[in-house]
A = this chain, B = another copy of it.
């Protein structure tokens, strides 16, 4: 946390931004105005996806790797930008922390990025809940014919709050309506997904207007437009659509913008930041949440479809410890014993390699060259690291190298960066796995079979009924947004390695018409996290000078 940031106006200038194209938020943060897209009309950067193998609950250091690689390209004389998601206050005060990188590969200024940052998350919360208030107000006054039993629009707060997962509202209101509903965390809000996918203000306004909050008694969709709340919601998001420019510990530029969760939403940073970054830089690295079967799949099918950008290569981040965990060296649900982790265990590495193999295959299935980056942890042995790198090459990766960006910053990522430069020269033929006009069940099946290794897909009766309603209004032609556990290639968090032939059960469909996809829930997915017995937040305090301590 000791790195001293440079004034953001200098970073912006070096990146090629003009002075009136940025808005300062303090000395070290700036928003970039969308007008820059009128000045620079064509992308010119190499565009790199950073994804990962099946993670442990600690994460692989994927964000740290993304930042470190951005720094590495600077050492190779290339102008690079990294684009990553914003923190959510829930995990910051819960168990995961801010996710702003680590060691010598972080985004600055901290703790600003971990807390309110430039207020985008709060804007999403406000816009989302304004829709909720207009919705219940319309029900109260009877202005919109809406079957209250069909209302799917929750409220949101950016906090881990178990007690809000299921609530009843509207008690004791004369003439009012008592409803069973819930709060999600803000990162799971459809408004967050919309903000991450919108290409400009017109697109943002139209997407907000298309949000479906529920249905009439004769099964017609009711939209935010009909509630007359789409305009004011968009007004609350005008600043939030502008990407946030900050810097890494080595003063390379970073866009930290939007934070849709990777399990329930599409788990990628904003389209608009990538549109701008690819016109300014020579290399743009963008991180997708969780493994290839989750964040990367949605990057390819949802984000790239939205942006029109085509990736030149992908980095697959892995670690010896996560491969060992997938090889069986773990307790239940990917939880690792720290003692076991410290011991060299080539057998466990070997047993875990099929997981790595599957993730390499998954990226290659989209026609994108892949470079494996093995994130070095202090307890890794050289033999373990060598084995993973060799295996990666054998398994079809265009390149593979160990990276030590946490300890060494940019120089620790040079080998991976050089491998990427070589990968850029390889022939590529990006192709999505499904067409939008394929039958809805077929889209789900293609993903589950090709990327998860499933043998079959089964829709529950409830999901089938939901599909019938969606199909009637043409929503079956939207992309699917798969929601499942990140801790396994399958939908069962306890299944390790490279499972095959299993059945996937589609439990529920959720229409996010504004975001432009249908979320497909496999298994139980929580959209509001809970605090544990010892939340990270309890360790945080402020001294008499207003300096924050204990924030991670």
Chain A interface (Cβ within 8 Å of chain B)? 23-27, 34, 89, 93, 111, 115-116, 119, 122-123, 125-126, 129-130, 132-134, 136-137, 140-141, 143, 155, 157-173, 176-177, 179-180, 200-202, 204-205, 228-229, 231-232, 234-236, 238-239, 241, 530-531, 533, 535, 537-546, 548, 550-551
* Chain B residue contacts of A228, Cβ below 8 A: 537-538
Shortest A67–chain B CB gap in Å is 24
Q: Known contacts being A25-B26, A140-B162, is A537 close to B201, with CB within 8 Å? A: no
Partner pick for A157 among B129, B163, B231, CB 8 A cutoff: B129
Q: Known contacts being A172-B166, A537-B232, is A544 close to B129, with CB within 8 Å? A: no
Shortest A341–chain B CB gap in Å is 28
Shortest A508–chain B CB gap in Å is 16
In the complex, the answer to whether A535 meets B137 with C-beta atoms within 8 Å is yes
A383 to B61, CA, bound (A): 76
In the complex, the answer to whether A550 meets B231 with C-beta atoms within 8 Å is yes
Q: List 24 A-B contacts (CB under 8 A).
A: A24-B25, A24-B26, A89-B130, A132-B159, A132-B161, A133-B162, A136-B161, A136-B162, A137-B162, A140-B162, A165-B171, A166-B172, A166-B173, A167-B170, A200-B544, A201-B546, A228-B538, A231-B537, A231-B541, A232-B541, A234-B542, A235-B542, A238-B546, A238-B548
Q: Which residue of B lies closest to A23 (CB)?
A: B26
A78 to B266, CA, bound (A): 57
* Chain B residue contacts of A160, Cβ below 8 A: 133
Partner pick for A538 among B125, B132, B229, B533, CB 8 A cutoff: B229
A239 to B140, CA, bound (A): 38
In the complex, the answer to whether A166 meets B159 with C-beta atoms within 8 Å is no
In the complex, the answer to whether B545 meets A235 with C-beta atoms within 8 Å is no
Q: Known contacts being A232-B537, A238-B546, is A159 close to B133, with CB within 8 Å? A: yes
In the complex, the answer to whether B115 meets A235 with C-beta atoms within 8 Å is yes
In the complex, the answer to whether A129 meets B27 with C-beta atoms within 8 Å is no
Shortest A153–chain B CB gap in Å is 12
Partner pick for A130 among B24, B159, B166, B172, CB 8 A cutoff: B159
Q: Which residue of B lies closest to A539 (CB)?
A: B231
Q: Known contacts being A234-B542, A540-B235, is A163 close to B143, with CB within 8 Å? A: no
A530 to B530, CA, bound (A): 30
In the complex, the answer to whether A173 meets B169 with C-beta atoms within 8 Å is no
In the complex, the answer to whether A531 meets B176 with C-beta atoms within 8 Å is no
In the complex, the answer to whether A533 meets B25 with C-beta atoms within 8 Å is no
Shortest A47–chain B CB gap in Å is 26
Q: Known contacts being A129-B161, A163-B179, A169-B163, is A530 close to B238, with CB within 8 Å? A: no
A283 to B546, CA, bound (A): 29
In the complex, the answer to whether A162 meets B170 with C-beta atoms within 8 Å is yes
* Chain B residue contacts of A179, Cβ below 8 A: 163
In the complex, the answer to whether B231 meets A542 with C-beta atoms within 8 Å is yes
In the complex, the answer to whether B540 meets A159 with C-beta atoms within 8 Å is no
Partner pick for A544 among B132, B202, B545, CB 8 A cutoff: B202
Shortest A56–chain B CB gap in Å is 25
Shortest A1–chain B CB gap in Å is 14
In the complex, the answer to whether A163 meets B170 with C-beta atoms within 8 Å is yes
A551 to B111, CA, bound (A): 33
* Chain B residue contacts of A170, Cβ below 8 A: 162-163, 166-167
Q: Which residue of B lies closest to A228 (CB)?
A: B538
Q: Which residue of B lies closest to A540 (CB)?
A: B232
Shortest A104–chain B CB gap in Å is 25
* Chain B residue contacts of A239, Cβ below 8 A: 116
In the complex, the answer to whether B201 meets A543 with C-beta atoms within 8 Å is yes
* Chain B residue contacts of A23, Cβ below 8 A: 26-27
Q: Known contacts being A161-B129, A172-B165, is A236 close to B531, with CB within 8 Å? A: no
In the complex, the answer to whether B162 meets A173 with C-beta atoms within 8 Å is yes
* Chain B residue contacts of A177, Cβ below 8 A: 163
Since A231-B542, A232-B540 are in contact, a sample of 10 more A-B pairs with Cβ atoms closer than 8 Å, ordered by chain A residue number, is A89-B126, A116-B123, A126-B159, A134-B537, A136-B161, A140-B163, A166-B171, A171-B180, A201-B543, A231-B550
A163 to B183, CA, bound (A): 13
Q: Known contacts being A133-B159, A169-B164, A533-B141, is A542 close to B116, with CB within 8 Å? A: no
Q: Known contacts being A23-B27, A533-B143, is A234 close to B133, with CB within 8 Å? A: no
* Chain B residue contacts of A173, Cβ below 8 A: 162-163, 165-166
A93 to B123, CA, bound (A): 14
Partner pick for A542 among B201, B531, B550, CB 8 A cutoff: B201
* Chain B residue contacts of A236, Cβ below 8 A: 115-116
Q: Known contacts being A137-B530, A231-B538, A537-B130, is A169 close to B171, with CB within 8 Å? A: no
Shortest A141–chain B CB gap in Å is 5
A130 to B238, CA, bound (A): 26
In the complex, the answer to whether B201 meets A545 with C-beta atoms within 8 Å is yes
Q: Which residue of B lies closest to A240 (CB)?
A: B116
A171 to B172, CA, bound (A): 18
A89 to B233, CA, bound (A): 12
